[in-house]
Amino acid sequence: MGILIDEKNKIFTLHTKNSTYQMKADEYGFLLHLYYGRRTEGCMDYLLHFADRGFSGNPYDAGADRTYSMDVLPQELPCQGTGDYRSPAVIIKNADGSYGCDFRYRSARILEGKYGIPGFPAVYADKKEAETLEIELEDPVSHVKATLLYGVLPELDIITRSARIHNGGSDKISLEKAQAACLDWVGGDFDIMFFYGRHAMERYVQRTPVSHGAQTIGSRRGTSSHQYNPMMMIADRNATEDFGSCYAMTFVYSGNFKGEVEKDQFNQTRALMGLADELFSYPLQPEEDFYVPETILSYSRAGLAKLSQNLHSCIRAHLCRGKYRDSIRPVLLNSWEASYFDFDSESLCALARQAADLGIEMLVMDDGWFGKRDDDNSGLGDWHVNEEKLGESLSSLIEKINGMGLKFGIWFEPEAVNEDSDLYREHPDWALSIPGRNPVRARNQLLLDFSRPEVVDWIFENLCQVLDQGNIEYIKWDLNRSLSDCYSCGADDQGRVQYDYVRGLYDLLERLVQKYPDILFEGCSGGGGRFDAGMLYYTPQIWCSDNTDAVDRVDIQYGTSFGYPVSTVGSHVSAVPNHQTGRTTPFAARGITAMAGTFGYELDPNKLTDDEKQQMRQQIADYKKYAPLIQNGLYYRLTDPSTQEVGAWEFVSEDASAVLVSALMLKVHGNMTVNYLRLKGLEEGCMYREEKSGKVYAADALMESGIPLPVEFGEYQAYQMYFVKEG
> Would you name the residues annotated as active-site residues?
532, 612
Measured distance CA(164)–CA(84) in Å, rounded: 22
Measured distance CA(419)–CA(274) in Å, rounded: 34
Question: Computed from CA positions of residues 706, 711, 716, 720, in that sequence, does the dihedral angle turn out positive or negative?
Answer: negative
Among 480, 541, 571, 593, indicate the residue that binds ligand GLA (CB under 6 A).
Answer: 480
- State the nearest-atom distance from the C-beta of 509 to ligand GLA, in Å: 18
Among 71, 191, 361, 367, indicate the residue that binds ligand GLA (CB under 6 A).
Answer: 367
Which helix (DSSP H) or strand (DSSP E) does residue 246 occupy?
Answer: strand 246-251
Measured distance CA(139)–CA(221) in Å, rounded: 33
Contacts with ligand GLA by CB under 6 A: the residue count is 11
First vs last C-alpha separation in the chain:
37
Footprint (CB under 6 A) of ligand GLA, residues 415-444? none
Of 383 and 722, which has the nearer Cβ to ligand GLA? 383
- State the nearest-atom distance from the C-beta of 624 to ligand GLA, in Å: 24
- Starting at the earlier edge strand, list the strands of the sheet with 3-6: 3-6, 11-15, 19-25, 31-38
Among 197, 371, 526, 597, indicate the residue that binds ligand GLA (CB under 6 A).
Answer: 526
Residue 504 binding ligand GLA, by CB under 6 A: no
Q: What are phi and psi of 460, to 5 degrees?
A: -55, -50
Q: How far is CA 222 from CA 305, 485, 512, in A?
A: 31, 11, 22
What does the DSSP assignment read for 507-549?
HHHHHHHHH-TTPEEEE-BTTBTT-SHHHHTT-SEEE--S---
Among 478, 522, 552, 555, indicate the residue that binds ligand GLA (CB under 6 A).
Answer: 478
- State the nearest-atom distance from the C-beta of 505 to ligand GLA, in Å: 17
Which residue number has the CB closest to ligand GLA? Answer: 367
Contact range with ligand GLA by CB under 6 A, out of 461-469, 494-502, 519-527, 534-542 = 519-527
CB atoms within 10 A of CB 509: 22
Among 191, 260, 522, 546, indicate the residue that binds ligand GLA (CB under 6 A).
Answer: 546
DSSP 8-state symbol, 370:
B
- State the nearest-atom distance from the C-beta of 374 to ligand GLA, in Å: 12
- State the nearest-atom distance from the C-beta of 546 to ligand GLA, in Å: 5
Cβ(505)–Cβ(499) below 8 Å? no
Residue 569 binding ligand GLA, by CB under 6 A: no
Of 384 and 678, which has the nearer Cβ to ligand GLA? 384
Of 478 and 604, which has the nearer Cβ to ligand GLA? 478
Helix 587-594 and helix 550-561, axial crossing angle in degrees, nearest 10: 20
Of 362 and 497, which has the nearer Cβ to ligand GLA? 362
Closest residue by Cα to residue 528 from 562, 478, 579: 478
- 140-143: long-range pairs with CB below 8 Å, 24+: 140/102, 140/104, 141/100, 141/102, 142/92, 142/94, 142/100, 142/101, 142/169, 142/173, 143/167, 143/168, 143/169
Footprint (CB under 6 A) of ligand GLA, residues 401-420? 411
CB atoms within 10 A of CB 481: 22
- State the nearest-atom distance from the C-beta of 366 to ligand GLA, in Å: 5
Of 473 and 602, which has the nearer Cβ to ligand GLA? 602
Residue 527 binding ligand GLA, by CB under 6 A: yes
Cβ(122)–Cβ(294) below 8 Å? yes
Of 241 and 366, which has the nearer Cβ to ligand GLA? 366
Contact range with ligand GLA by CB under 6 A, out of 210-218, 319-327, 523-531, 638-646 = 523-531
Closest residue by Cα to residue 307 from 243, 262, 215: 243
- State the nearest-atom distance from the C-beta of 527 to ligand GLA, in Å: 5
- State the nearest-atom distance from the C-beta of 610 to ligand GLA, in Å: 28
Contact range with ligand GLA by CB under 6 A, out of 118-126, 308-316, 425-433, 520-528 = 520-528
Contact range with ligand GLA by CB under 6 A, out of 81-89, 122-130, 297-305, 521-529 = 521-529
Of 409 and 605, which has the nearer Cβ to ligand GLA? 409
Report CA dihedral (258, 264, 268, 269) to the nearest 10 degrees: 20
Cβ(418)–Cβ(380) below 8 Å? yes
Of 241 and 367, which has the nearer Cβ to ligand GLA? 367
Among 253, 324, 538, 543, indicate the residue that binds ligand GLA (CB under 6 A).
Answer: 543
- State the nearest-atom distance from the C-beta of 603 to ligand GLA, in Å: 13
Of 182 and 505, which has the nearer Cβ to ligand GLA? 505
- State the nearest-atom distance from the C-beta of 39 to ligand GLA, in Å: 43
Residue 524 binding ligand GLA, by CB under 6 A: yes
Residue ranges in 85-206 assigned as alpha helix (H):
none
Contact range with ligand GLA by CB under 6 A, out of 80-88, 174-182, 299-307, 524-532 = 524-532
Measured distance CA(395)–CA(467) in Å, rounded: 10
Q: How far is CA 723 from CA 5, 22, 652, in A?
A: 47, 42, 9
- State the nearest-atom distance from the C-beta of 337 to ligand GLA, in Å: 8
Of 10 and 530, which has the nearer Cβ to ligand GLA? 530
Measured distance CA(365)–CA(345) in Å, rounded: 10
Closest residue by Cα to residue 239 from 300, 182, 296: 300
Q: How far is CA 693 from CA 108, 507, 720, in A?
A: 60, 52, 12
Radius of gyration of the chain (CA): 26
Residue 366 binding ligand GLA, by CB under 6 A: yes
Of 78 and 605, which has the nearer Cβ to ligand GLA? 605
Contact residues for ligand GLA, defined by CB under 6 A: 336, 366-367, 411, 478, 480, 524, 526-527, 543, 546
